[in-house]
């Protein structure tokens, strides 16, 4: 749909708001060609995370052995004044690109985070700015 705001909520997962979206159920890829936001749900306020974007986003969910979409992510890309926040820390860039390993525990699933054009990161009152930044994560 291209009119109004779409709201999707997943129990124990989070809430997505988007202006438009389409899903390929065979690949698990969700495309949002316009602005939107995602907020996770968690009883611990430190674990609540949010991401907002103004241009477009693509999220690729992992598939199970039968080819069904799971709640686990394998890739996410947010474009256009993209900002991600958690526990008072934030990152922003024109493009935020995240690669995840859905076989790892959720807290360790992020394997690569690439920020492109106009990077700003703020953590524990420290700020980092730059053009591009790529971080490779090693799971515990």
How confident is the model over 83-118, as pLDDT tens digits? Answer: 999 888 899 999 999 999 999 988 889 999 999 998
Q: What is the domain extent for residue 109?
A: 6-136
- Overall average pLDDT of the 30-57 stretch: 91
- 119 and 90 in contact (C-beta within 8 Å)? no
Q: Determine, yes or no, domain membership for 26.
A: yes
* Backbone φ/ψ region at 107: left (φ over 0), alpha (ψ -120 to 50), beta: alpha
- Measured CA to CA, the distance from residue 101 to residue 126 in angstroms comes to 28
Mean pLDDT, all residues of the chain: 90
Domain count of the fold of the chain: 1
Q: Determine, yes or no, domain membership for 1.
A: no
How confident is the model over 64-79, as pLDDT tens digits? Answer: 999 999 989 999 999 9
Q: Determine, yes or no, domain membership for 24.
A: yes
Phi, psi of 18, rounded to the nearest 5 degrees: -150, 155
């Amino acid at each position: 749909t291209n009119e109004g705001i779409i709201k999707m909520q997943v129990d124990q997962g989070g809430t997505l708001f988007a202006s438009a979206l389409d899903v390929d159920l065979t690949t698990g890829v969700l495309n949002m060609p316009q602005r939107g936001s995602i907020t996770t749900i968690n009883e611990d306020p430190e674990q609540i995370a949010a991401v907002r974007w103004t241009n477009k986003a693509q999220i690729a969910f992992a598939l199970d052995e039968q080819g069904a979409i799971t709640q686990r992510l394998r890739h996410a890309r947010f474009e256009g004044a993209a900002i991600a926040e958690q526990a008072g820390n934030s990152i922003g860039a024109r493009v935020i690109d995240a690669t995840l390993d859905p076989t790892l525990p959720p807290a360790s699933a992020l394997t690569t985070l690439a920020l492109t054009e106009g990077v700003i990161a703020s953590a524990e009152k420290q700020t980092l700015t730059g053009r591009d930044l790529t971080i490779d994560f090693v799971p515990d």
